[in-house]
């Protein structure tokens, strides 16, 4: 096969979303303003390279706030936290910077509002995911986790006339629709959230993958294995026409034998992936004869978020 027959379709949008960009900037700004160390509860975003680069600058990642020295600076990750985590930080006298994505915060607000109205909240999401844990923590007595369409058959509610569904923001749009449809069959009075919970970036990246997967035998998704939205991109690629799709953390994981018999490769990246990792994958593909790159834009994206309010205050200094 001549190299002129080989091409790469590069999805757009891809990579960093506004929430991830804000969270990473929050840690970088905190390091600049207060100096290291700055503690971060859990991975600020689900990408091993981002975490490693911040560690080199002086960020220390911890599992819980009780690992943070009293009075130190701690950043809460983009995935959100349960209220009890914030209270624990206050008890320890920590200077907390909340980098929760505003779109996750919106879901938290919805959970509190519906719980106050005594609704049962059917939270569509993956058990154990940090975002789900944080959202459920806003109203633990009211939230019922529904993990996929199969889970819809088992969920129990107090009053079928007072139920609403919310969702993890990084799910597959199609999977969520399937789960909600299954829930509605059981609970015809099921309320929809006031606005779509699946985040704009998740939807846009999935829309772009659907376009390139229909034209590519192979789709490579750059992202870490614990990134829910990246894993979903692999699934969407397979569902929409790609014969194979692989998740890679970086170019070092790309295997040449994947390209046997392939003329068109699709490339995209999850919402927590720096663009330089995509550039490295493209360079490796070029070395295998796939040097022609065509960017395919499915949706225009212009969303930005301001830094957390704790970092917008002028004259902030590290606590004594």
Strand partners, 97: 75
3-class secondary structure, 44: coil
Catalytic residue set = 131
- How far apart, in whole angstroms, are the C-alpha atoms of residue 277 and residue 78? 20
* 161 CB-contact burial (10 Å; exposed 0-12 / middle 13-18 / buried 19+): exposed
**Any residues with CB less than 8 A from the CB of 201 and at least 6 apart, and which?**
13, 17, 18, 19, 229, 271, 301, 303
Strand partners, 146: 124
The answer to whether the beta carbons of residues 49 and 250 sit under 8 Å apart is: yes
């Amino acid at each position: 096969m001549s190299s002129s027959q080989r091409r790469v379709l590069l999805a757009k949008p891809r990579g960093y979303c506004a929430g991830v960009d804000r969270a990473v900037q929050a840690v970088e700004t905190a390091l600049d303003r207060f100096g290291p160390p700055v503690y971060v509860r859990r991975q600020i975003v689900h990408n091993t390279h981002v975490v490693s680069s911040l560690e080199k600058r002086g960020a220390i990642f911890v599992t819980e706030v009780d690992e943070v020295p009293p009075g130190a600076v701690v950043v809460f990750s983009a995935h959100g936290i349960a209220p009890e985590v914030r209270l624990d930080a206050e008890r320890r006298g920590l200077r907390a910077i909340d980098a929760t994505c505003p779109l996750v915060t919106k879901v938290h607000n919805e959970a509190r509002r519906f719980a106050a109205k005594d609704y049962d909240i059917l939270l569509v999401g993956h058990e154990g995911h940090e975002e789900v844990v944080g959202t459920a923590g806003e109203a633990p007595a009211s939230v019922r986790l529904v993990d996929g369409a199969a889970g819809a058959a088992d969920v129990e509610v107090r009053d079928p006339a007072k139920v609403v569904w919310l969702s993890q923001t990084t799910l597959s749009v199609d999977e969520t629709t399937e789960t909600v449809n299954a829930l509605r069959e059981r609970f015809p009075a099921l309320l929809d959230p006031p606005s779509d919970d699946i985040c704009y970036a998740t939807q846009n990246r999935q829309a772009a993958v659907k376009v390139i997967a229909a034209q590519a035998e192979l789709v490579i998704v750059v992202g870490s294995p614990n990134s829910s939205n990246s894993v979903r991109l692999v699934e969407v690629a397979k569902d929409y026409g790609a014969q194979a799709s692989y998740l890679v953390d970086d170019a070092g994981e790309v295997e040449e034998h994947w390209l046997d018999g392939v003329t068109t490769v699709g490339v995209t990246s999850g919402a927590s992936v720096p663009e330089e990792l995509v550039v490295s994958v493209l360079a490796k593909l070029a070395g295998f004869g796939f040097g022609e790159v065509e960017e395919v834009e499915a949706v225009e994206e212009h969303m930005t978020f301001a830094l957390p309010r704790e970092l917008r205050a002028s004259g902030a200094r590290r606590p004594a």
